[in-house]
Structure 1
Amino acid sequence: MATGQTAPRVVLLAAHPNWRESRVNRLLRDRAASLPGVAVRDLYGAYPDYDIDIAAEQQQAGGADLIVLLHPIQWYSMPALQKLWLDEVLAYGWAYGPGGTALQGKDLWLVATTGGPESSYHPQSYNRYFFDAFLPPYEQTAALCGMRFLPPLLLHGAHRASPDEITQHVQVFGERLASYPDWPEMAELDACPACEVPQVDRPAVTAGSQ
């Protein structure tokens, strides 16, 4: 980082329903918390009743340069509270749509674990698809908010990963997080997309919702 340049601000959203049973995500969360400039938001710790403080979360996210989603993959997606965070915090008129520019130009990074090994994410195995098939919802969430979706950091087979594999993964994660945004591949990534939502697609709600 150039002398005098402001350090990037990072917000990490850690979502795990049971930290006591976590073999990998807990260590990743703790590694992130040890780094300067990284604000770790433990969603299940902060909101056990699922009553998210939207204003506080928007303030944190709006002030970040990088938002990290850290969680285990559950049923090919994210844990329920992480999904609720997206539903409520990424509001129309704030994160997307007319006037929704709060996150434009920022980066979104998925750091996730799977229980099944990488070989299970194959057309000839029980998960039936390569893992990339489950990424479009993340990618499009970033795009709709004008964010750049960074290459995910994944650890497959977390249930059976050896201590050495876990240690190495946590080390790579820490190094990547500490060196952001000075990643070699950054220059090759596309700019943040423009996904404009016409106002006619979201008319004012007078009674109920969809």
Structure 2
Amino acid sequence: MTKVLIQFAHPRLSKSNVQKTLEQYARKVKGVTFNDLYEHYPDLFIDVKREQQLLAKHDIVVFQHPFYWYSSPPVLKQWQDLVLEYNWAYGPKGYALQGKKVFNAVSCGGGRDAYSETGYNRFPLGQYLLPFDQTAHLCRMEYLPPFVVHETYTIEDYALKTFGEQYAELLDALVNDRISAGALSGVEYLNELFPH
């Protein structure tokens, strides 16, 4: 069984129906550890050893967060700055994360068409996630396509439930090794593996 660690970052979770829903579905999946970074570190003082131990015990890391200003909430950047230490996560002796997989699970206010060369945001979402991709590469990890929920401000309850089910199905498939490398070929979003 593959162990999945969700590194969750949302500073105002009470205001987010989307992220609350994804959290509820994720917590039901056996083999998934849900680590709420703002709950543990509201002051941004990260317990580096605790976080490194969590990473060492898991095979797949998910950065679950709202897509704030084309990036993540500040606690996740602080986490990266402190936890991914030289000669632990990267560098000539930094092999602690080698071979692990990682991806982002994000919620965006804009629609999918807004994230294109002709859209409001001018670039595909994947281009905004390149710093995460490069960080994974530096740490000798495999970066997977993101799981994405668009149009969070106008999403209907039935669609939100569908995204929650997709997310749980994805996590369960990862835990039980049901996603082959070939299945990821040409996939822009991991959602595409579980159409509803």
In terms of mean alpha carbon deviation, does 69-78 or 20-29 score higher?
Answer: 20-29
The CA deviation string for residues 129-162 of structure 1, in whole angstroms up to 9 with x for no partner, is 2222212111111111111111211111111111
SS at match of 1:11: strand
- For residues 6-85 of structure 1, the aligned pairs below 5 Å read 7-85=1-79
Percent identical pairs in the alignment equals: 37
2:126 paired residue among 132, 149, 159: 132
The TM-score, its normalising length taken from structure 2, stands at 0.89
4+ long deviations beyond 4 Å: none
Q: For structure 2, list consecutive stretches of 5 or more residues without a partner in the other structure.
A: 186-196
CA distance in 1, matches of 2:184, 2:151: 28
Unaligned runs of 5+ in 1: 1-6, 191-210
Higher RCO (C-alpha 8 Å, min separation 6): 2
Distance 1:130 1:179 in 2: 26
Q: CA RMSD in A?
A: 1.4
The TM-score normalised by the length of structure 1 is 0.83
Whether the 8 Å contact between 1:23 and 1:159 is mirrored in structure 2 is: no
CA distance in 2 between partners of 1:109 and 1:129 (Å): 19
Specify the structure having the higher radius of gyration (Cα).
Answer: 1
**1:162-173 matched pairs, under 5 angstroms:** 162-173=156-167
Q: Distance in 2 between matches of 1:67 and 1:125?
A: 30
Displacement of 1:189 in angstroms is 5.7
2:26 and 2:167 map into 1 onto residues whose CA distance is 8
Specify the alignment match of 1:88 in structure 2: 82
Matched pairs, number: 183
Say whether the 8 Å CA contact 1:114–1:155 is kept in structure 2: yes
* Structure 2 CA distance for aligned equivalents of residues 100 and 85 of structure 1: 17
